[in-house]
Structure 1
């Protein structure tokens, strides 16, 4: 995508925000061919979709849960004369999106996980701790906002969100400070929250804002990003044709761990067990991995675009074995507090 998704510091500016991260590697993983159909689950500004369409006379179905991303892509739809179709939808529901278009199978799926640069650049969306705006963080505009979670979650639940999803070591202290502050006045803007966190932790001198992990944890919770990713992997498994290719770019260990665990399970062919436990049968592998492990960006790309430093690409090729489906919690998606899972922030 032109606007790549990252959890690095917001200090990166300019055109670097709008470069597709690991584009060459993603294209190599997908290997677009004439006449085939590909699904871009995170359209953003269309960087991956454009590259796929330019690489072959193929069709791309592009999804995004953010209506502003869809609106911004209509010029590209006209440019590619019917080969690009945009759908406002979560990538976990890619199966439903394909059903709506009468498409049973696709030949490739690409997912670029996290928050988009466009969202960070718009203070009114509430993602940025450097730009003032309402404390929103909703990618699609539905469900409780970050402000609602900050206002309503009990202190322990709030600390759990910051610790688990934000990997914030001072989660308890931050949650206590939030609980005390909201007794005096609502926390409704991004700079209110960012300033509060900075008072608790102190200023950072390594270029990473003190509120980075707090904002990360709230954003992942608001959008159920890890659950969405796990469900998207199951959906891709069901809708990829035999020989179809999956490419997932993650920027954070929480995301990458889910992809790694899923693919390790789906490519495993040896029976489980140990000397203390009997061997267990293994269903046929639904994917094979052309390259084991994650691919990292090259030094040249990192030098030109520091945002790419944390990116990890994992790719796999669909076999003809039946899809298995599964429980997202089995692959590392955390169990959030009940209030978040139910969508009830009251």
Structure 2
């Protein structure tokens, strides 16, 4: 029998959308106990789940809160919003929006400070398993890839007009794909014949362009990095994370925890650097020029790193292989007065 600390939190979900479509899937929360433990929850505290998803972490947080505790959920995905609105708990409030505007969300609720923020980055299982979302190269569906389907450009629309140079830059910079040039050229050639409109169509174009044993050795689909790159670019994931992290520090009470779970090296690198620089403010950030928030952090020791990076254990990976790339980092707000 698994010990409670190693139990994988599974949810059978049925979400009713405003258009009448019913989504049913199984979502497995990554590092559930580790993440909630890291928040060091106080029964009367106020917490934010900045990436609600399907609410696995949120439900565990609510279990640990007392009657006077409060939890705020944010997500820009409309299906996640519907899942959050289905929670019938007066201690919980769901907001449709990105964590990059977390301070604004708190102002709407007349909340100044919180005792913990959790960010579980990446794509959820329901998003991957719903073909119409366009996130998966294994399911045939329209190339959408938007986290918030109520706004923004779809992947198909972007692929139809992006220059070959821009395609190459995005695939290389956000996918860390060494064959970006070949893939970009292949996409441009393919769209000259017919629109690149479906996931399997794009995956086939990428596979034909790469034809390398490297992906076979890695046991990775050739389209993995290209799909990741397009998704990150369209949803401005790294930009929004860069905007969110300083805000998370500012809204934390002394002793409050920031917990971030990343799923690829670009995210984790950004989180790791931010936490270290916030804990060691006398060291200048590598990236120049600095954002306004980064300038404000210089000379102010605002975070204390808590432990080392945590990865899923063998038991969790056996039950949820998608967790294999997860890395969790934790930092605590220090009193700077």
- TM-score normalised to structure 1 length: 0.82
1:89 aligns with 2:105: no
Q: Which residue in 2 is equivalent to 1:171?
A: 180
Q: Which residue in 2 is equivalent to 1:201?
A: 210
Partner Cα distance (2:28, 2:200) in 1: 28
- Where in structure 2 are the equivalents of 1:147-296 lying within 5 Å? 147-202=156-211, 205=216, 207-268=219-280, 283-291=299-307, 293-296=308-311
* Structure 1 gap segments, 5+ residues each: 4-13, 273-280, 323-346
Distance 1:49 1:159, change over 3 A: same
Contact 1:147 1:187 in 2 (8 A): yes
Contact 2:84 2:94 in 1 (8 A): yes
Contact 1:166 1:217 in 2 (8 A): yes
Partner Cα distance (2:32, 2:231) in 1: 26
Secondary structure in 2 matching 1:18: strand
Q: Write the deviation string for residues 279-301 of structure 1: whole angstroms up to 9, x where unpaired.
A: xx96121111121x411222222
Contact 2:27 2:124 in 1 (8 A): no
1:105 aligns with 2:113: yes
Determine which of 77, 81, 100 is the counterpart of 1:70. Answer: 81
Partner Cα distance (2:323, 2:197) in 1: 32
Contact 1:2 1:45 in 2 (8 A): no
Partner Cα distance (1:75, 1:262) in 2: 35
Shift of 1:28: 1.8
Q: Which residue in 2 is equivalent to 1:317?
A: 332
Shift of 1:270: 5.8
Q: Which has the higher contact order (CA 8 A, sep 6+)?
A: 1
Q: Write the deviation string for residues 138-181 of structure 1: whole angstroms up to 9, x where unpaired.
A: 00122111112211111011001001101111110010011111
Partner Cα distance (1:101, 1:64) in 2: 16
Partner Cα distance (2:162, 2:86) in 1: 42
Contact 2:277 2:283 in 1 (8 A): no
Q: Which residue in 2 is equivalent to 1:114?
A: 122
Contact 1:60 1:84 in 2 (8 A): yes
1:19 aligns with 2:28: yes
Partner Cα distance (1:63, 1:240) in 2: 16
Contact 1:2 1:44 in 2 (8 A): no
Distance 1:51 1:200, change over 3 A: same
Q: Which residue in 2 is equivalent to 1:300?
A: 315
Shift of 1:305: 2.2
How many residues of Structure 1 are paired with residues of Structure 2 in the alignment? 300
Shift of 1:74: 2.5
Partner Cα distance (1:271, 1:217) in 2: 30
Partner Cα distance (1:209, 1:65) in 2: 28
Partner Cα distance (1:162, 1:257) in 2: 18
Shift of 1:87: 0.3
Shift of 1:213: 0.8
- TM-score normalised to structure 2 length: 0.84
Distance 1:134 1:318, change over 3 A: same
* Structure 2 gap segments, 5+ residues each: 1-8, 12-23, 285-296
Shift of 1:53: 0.5
Determine which of 59, 72, 88 is the counterpart of 1:61. Answer: 72
Partner Cα distance (1:90, 1:222) in 2: 14
Q: Write the deviation string for residues 289-332 of structure 1: whole angstroms up to 9, x where unpaired.
A: 121x411222222233222221111001111238xxxxxxxxxx
Partner Cα distance (2:131, 2:312) in 1: 29
Superposed CA RMSD: 2.2
